[in-house]
Each structure stands twice: as structure tokens, then as C-alpha cells.
């Protein structure tokens, strides 16, 4: 087709290849772009594999860059082995940093690499590392060194948490536009951790394929079909930094870092899909097709929680998800939600084991996730259709500048 021919030429340009073939004719009379050029050299159909998100920097790259999350994610938590020393933790972090720097640049790990991702490039891989509450008190870290923000999350009404898939001493958030690249990275970290830390849990998620939507910046949809992420804080907001990243009030080693809350939230999709669309929209407070608030406008129209319909009723229902979650109703609580969908086949009851790997970033969980979830757990209309099945909290230190390793300020 014309479109793919254009795509091919563009991709060939990115790779520096010239003389790419035009379209090839197929038997049914249509045409397609071949992924070889005229000299027979393979040419990628897109530049997806070649994209690199720089690893080194003052921030860990997975938090706000790339602007939209990659298509695939692997989340994992590790526990230190009994009696692991501070030295062992140091060399684990040194090893993870070195491996992450190579893999995110699209480079193999050398002799230790199992080659699963060979030839796939970096595919915008990001590897983000955090420390769980349970790390403090181990490997020579005092329990009292644990920052206030890293207090274990309280239990919330309705929680059905599975401890085996929750918490962990070390957390890793891996994302890439290629699922093999993402999985290869977690295997690499697991190999490096051998003898010092073992995998506690692992979860695989996905977002939208890169290049699939006409508008790459369009807000994602979750598996309930809702436009999800609209009212997130924007990096251009004047208070964005203060709300998402740890500032002067945090410990030195965490300044410029953030806290991430991870919740595995299963969706009761059979119940949800049986609900008529107007009823679904009432649960959230936004239209399903456009994501606009129910009082009208477009997706980006500011929400007016006091707006009333012609029937005199509140346009956004008293128990609507966006009313209860709104910053205005939670003392200004803010978090950056960047979750991934998951679909892990069927449960024993034949219901889909699918939902949202909810990820929320904030400068302080006590002024972000915790008060909001407290409120949602006590009356959110959405609660009927979701189950919180796993939970984790990690303090995510700042990025590593060249020559330093992640978490160095904490463990050196
Ligand atoms: C908004 C879905 C869980 C916090 C929204 C929106 C949707 C949505 C569709 C409206 C669009 C937007 O602004 O992003 C879901 C689903 C969930 C879930 C399907 C579970 C499977 C949570 C949880 C929290 C949360 C656990 C935090 C504790 C928020 C916040 C907003 C929001 C803060 C923005 C509210 C506003 O200011 O307008 N959610 N959500 N959500 N959600 Fe959720």
C-alpha cells in the first residue's frame, strides 16, 4: 500500500540505507512493502528497535520518559537471600546498573547474555529500580534508615491481597516496545542477582503498540474500554516536580527520586461488559467513547464536580470514580498514574484473569496514593467491578549519572 511504502522509505532513511525497494505486488492485486532493500539487506519496517531512551541521568528514565509508556512491561520484585551482606547488595546494584546501561543502549551483555533479544535493539527499554520497606533492616541497612514515605501501606477495605505476589526488598520496573527485550532484561537482572537475591514475584503487562494509533500521544484505553490517564498531572504543570519527585524534605539518597505504588487490580470484566454503556459511564463520571466529563465538552475539558444536568442531578455522580479520586476531594493529593494492562488467561472459575497493573508515582504516598485509595475503598462505584489482588511500594532513587550506580548514596 502507499502507506507502507512511505513507511519503508522513512525507515530506510533512519537506518541510513539507500535504494530501498518500492512496494511489491501481491497475487490478489494489492501490494506491500518488503522488508529488504534492493540489495537484499533486511530493512526494519519501522525504527522501533533502534529507539533508545538514555539510561544515565539525574532521574531514572522509566518514570516520566518516554512521555507515553512503552507497549510492554515486566514488573518484578526480588528478596535478598538470608544474611546477604552490604557488599553483596552493593555489587548487585553495581551489576544491575551496568547491565541496564548496556541493555537500554541495545547492547548485549557479552558472554553471559542468553541472546534472547539479539538483533532486536533497545526498543525504548527502560529499567527502573526501587527499594521496598522490607529492605531496611537487611544488608547492613538499619530499620531506622527507612524513610517515612516508605512505611508499609495500610490495609484498605476490600483488599484481597496475595502476599506471594506482593511487596519485596527490591522492585524493578522494566518497559520496552518489544516484549522479548523486556523479558530478556528481567532474566539478565535475575542472573546478576544470583546468590544475593531471588525473584519474589513477576508480572507482565502491556499498553498500546507503538505506531498503532494515528495520534501517538492519545490517552491509552484500559481493558474496561475507558480512556484512562486523562487527568494525570502534566510535566508542564508548575507543581509537577514537587508532587511527583522527592524534594528537600526527603533523605539525601532519595532526593530527585520518587515513590511508586504498584497494585495488581483484577477487573471483573464479565460483570462490567454486561453493564449498559450509560451505566458504565456513570461509574467513572466520564464518557466511554471520548473520555469527556459527563457534563460535556471534550476529553480535556476541566471537570466541574458541581455541574448539574437538566434533571437537577449532579452530572458526575456522588460515587463516581473521578469525584472520589479528585485532588480537590483528597487535600490536593496527586500521583502520576502510568499503569499497564494484563491478561493472564483464565482463572479456575473460567473468568478472565485480566485487569490493570496500576502504577502510581508520587513524592509522598501519604499525600498521594494512600488517602485517595482510602476514599475509593469506601464508596467508589468502580469497586464492584475490581479486586485489588497484589500490592507493593518502592522508594525509587534518583538516576545514576555516568560512573555511579543506582542507590549508591544509600548503600556506600
Ligand atoms: C481517573 C479508571 C484505579 C486514581 C480515572 C479515570 C478512569 C480510571 C477511566 C478517568 C480518566 C483519567 O483521568 O485518567 C480506573 C480503573 C481502575 C482505577 C479501571 C482500576 C482497575 C484507581 C486507583 C486509584 C485511582 C487504585 C488511586 C488510589 C485515579 C485518579 C484519577 C483517576 C487520581 C483522576 C481523577 C481526577 O482528578 O479527575 N481512573 N482507575 N484510580 N483515577 Fe482511576
**Whether residue 377 has pLDDT greater than 50:** yes
Rounded Cα gap, residues 174 and 128, in angstroms: 6
Which amino acid residue places its CA nearest to atom 4 of ligand 1? 325
Q: Which three cell numbers stand for residue 145?
A: 534508615
* Candidates 113, 228, 364, 380; catalytic one: 228
State the DSSP code for 232. Answer: P
Point out the ligand 1 atom lying closest to the alpha carbon of residue 267.
21
State residue 10's pLDDT score.
36
Task: Average the pLDDT over 277-282 and give the result.
Answer: 98
Rounded Cα gap, residues 303 and 322, in angstroms: 9
Which residue is associated with the grid cell 553483596? 88
- Select from 168, 161, 333 the least CA-distant residue to 242: 333
Point out the ligand 1 atom lying closest to the alpha carbon of residue 369.
28
C-beta contacts of 329-334 below 8 A and 24+ residues apart: 329/305, 329/375, 330/371, 330/372, 330/375, 331/367, 331/371, 332/367, 333/367, 333/368, 333/371, 333/372, 334/233, 334/239, 334/243, 334/244, 334/362, 334/367, 334/368
Residue 300 CB-density burial (10 A; 0-12 exposed, 13-18 middle, 19+ buried):
exposed
Task: Average the pLDDT over 316-323 and give the result.
Answer: 98
Instruction: Report the SS3 class of residue 141.
Output: coil
Which percentage of the chain shows pLDDT scores above 70?
91
| 49 CB near ligand 1 (under 6 Å) | no
Cα 321 to averaged position of ligand 1 atoms, centre (Å): 7
Residue 47 CA to its chain's centroid (Å)? 22
| 410 CB near ligand 1 (under 6 Å) | no
| 169 CB near ligand 1 (under 6 Å) | no
Which amino acid residue places its CA nearest to atom 39 of ligand 1? 228
Which amino acid residue places its CA nearest to atom 26 of ligand 1? 373
State residue 66's pLDDT score.
72
| 183 CB near ligand 1 (under 6 Å) | no
- Model confidence at 111, pLDDT cuts 50, 70, 90, reads confident
- 132-154 pLDDT, tens digit per residue, is 999 999 999 999 999 999 999 99
- Select from 195, 202, 203, 199 the least CA-distant residue to 79: 199
Rounded Cα gap, residues 81 and 335, in angstroms: 33
**Whether residue 27 has pLDDT greater than 90:** no
| 368 CB near ligand 1 (under 6 Å) | no
**Whether residue 350 has pLDDT greater than 50:** yes
Point out the ligand 1 atom lying closest to the alpha carbon of residue 229.
14
Task: Average the pLDDT over 222-245 and give the result.
Answer: 96
Cα 382 to averaged position of ligand 1 atoms, centre (Å): 10
- Model confidence at 1, pLDDT cuts 50, 70, 90, reads very low
State the DSSP code for 385. Answer: G
Task: Average the pLDDT over 341-362 and give the result.
Answer: 98
Q: Which residues contact 238 (CB under 8 A, 6 or more apart)?
A: none
Strand ranges (DSSP E) for 293-369? 336-337, 340-346, 352-362
Lowest mean pLDDT: which of 23-37, 206-220, 365-379?
A: 23-37
Test site for ligand 1: of 321, 332, 340, most ligand atoms within 8 A of the Cβ: 321
- Return the higher-pLDDT residue of 2 and 309: 309
Return mean pLDDT, the chain: 92
| 219 CB near ligand 1 (under 6 Å) | no
| 303 CB near ligand 1 (under 6 Å) | yes
Contact indicator for 94, 370 with CB cutoff of 8 Å: no
Task: Average the pLDDT over 13-21 and give the result.
Answer: 38
Lowest mean pLDDT: which of 33-37, 93-97, 342-346, 357-361?
A: 33-37
DSSP string, 5-58: HHHHHHHHHHTT-------EE-TTS-EE--SB-TTS-B--SSSGGG------SS
Instruction: Please confirm, yes or no, whether 239 is among the known catalytic residues.
Output: no
- Model confidence at 7, pLDDT cuts 50, 70, 90, reads very low
Rounded Cα gap, residues 368 and 354, in angstroms: 25
State residue 13's pLDDT score.
35
Which amino acid residue places its CA nearest to atom 30 of ligand 1? 325
Cα 228 to averaged position of ligand 1 atoms, centre (Å): 7
Neighbours of 304 (CB within 10 A): 13
Amino acid at each position: 500500500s502507499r502507506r507502507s511504502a512511505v513507511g519503508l522509505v522513512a525507515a530506510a532513511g533512519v537506518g541510513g540505507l539507500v535504494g530501498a525497494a518500492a512496494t511489491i505486488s501481491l497475487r490478489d492485486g494489492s501490494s506491500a512493502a518488503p522488508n529488504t532493500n534492493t540489495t537484499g539487506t533486511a530493512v526494519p519496517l519501522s525504527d522501533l528497535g533502534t529507539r533508545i531512551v538514555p539510561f544515565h541521568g539525574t532521574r531514572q528514565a522509566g518514570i516520566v520518559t518516554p512521555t507515553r509508556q512503552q507497549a510492554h512491561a515486566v514488573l518484578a520484585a526480588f528478596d535478598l537471600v538470608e544474611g546477604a551482606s552490604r557488599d553483596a547488595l552493593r555489587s548487585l546494584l553495581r551489576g544491575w546498573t551496568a547491565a541496564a546501561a548496556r541493555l537500554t543502549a541495545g547492547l548485549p551483555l557479552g558472554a553471559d547474555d542468553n541472546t534472547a533479544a539479539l538483533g532486536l535493539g533497545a526498543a525504548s527499554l527502560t529499567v527502573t529500580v526501587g527499594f521496598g520497606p522490607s529492605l531496611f533492616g537487611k544488608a547492613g541497612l538499619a530499620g531506622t534508615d527507612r524513610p517515612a514515605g516508605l512505611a508499609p501501606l495500610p490495609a484498605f477495605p476490600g483488599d484481597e491481597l496475595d502476599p506471594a505476589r506482593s511487596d519485596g526488598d527490591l522492585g524493578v520496573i522494566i518497559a520496552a516496545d518489544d516484549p522479548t527485550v523486556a523479558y530478556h532484561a528481567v532474566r539478565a537482572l535475575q542472573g546478576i542477582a544470583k546468590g544475593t537475591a531471588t525473584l519474589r514475584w513477576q508480572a507482565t503487562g502491556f499498553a498500546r503498540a507503538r505506531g498503532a494509533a494515528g495520534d501517538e500521544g492519545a490517552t491509552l484505553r484500559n481493558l474496561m474500554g475507558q480512556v484512562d490517564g486523562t487527568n494525570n498531572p502534566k510535566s508542564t504543570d508548575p507543581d509537577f516536580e514537587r508532587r511527583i519527585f522527592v524534594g528537600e524534605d526527603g533523605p539525601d539518597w532519595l532526593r530527585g527520586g520518587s515513590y511508586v505504588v504498584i497494585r495488581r487490580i483484577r477487573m471483573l470484566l464479565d460483570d462490567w461488559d454486561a453493564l449498559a454503556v450509560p451505566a458504565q459511564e456513570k461509574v467513572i463520571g466520564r464518557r466511554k467513547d471520548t473520555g469527556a466529563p459527563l457534563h460535556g465538552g471534550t476529553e480535556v475539558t476541566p471537570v466541574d464536580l458541581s455541574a448539574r444536568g437538566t434533571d437537577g442531578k449532579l452530572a458526575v455522580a456522588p460515587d463516581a470514580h473521578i469525584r472520589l479520586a479528585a485532588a480537590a476531594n483528597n487535600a490536593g493529593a496527586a500521583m502520576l498514574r502510568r499503569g499497564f494492562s494484563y491478561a493472564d488467561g483464565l482463572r479456575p472459575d473460567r473468568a478472565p484473569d485480566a485487569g490493570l497493573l496500576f502504577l502510581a508515582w508520587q513524592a509522598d504516598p501519604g499525600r498521594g496514593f494512600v488517602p485517595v485509595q482510602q476514599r475509593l475503598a469506601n464508596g467508589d462505584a468502580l469497586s464492584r467491578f475490581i479486586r485489588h489482588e497484589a500490592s507493593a511500594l518502592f522508594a525509587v532513587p534518583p538516576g545514576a549519572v555516568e560512573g555511579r550506580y543506582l542507590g549508591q548514596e544509600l548503600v556506600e
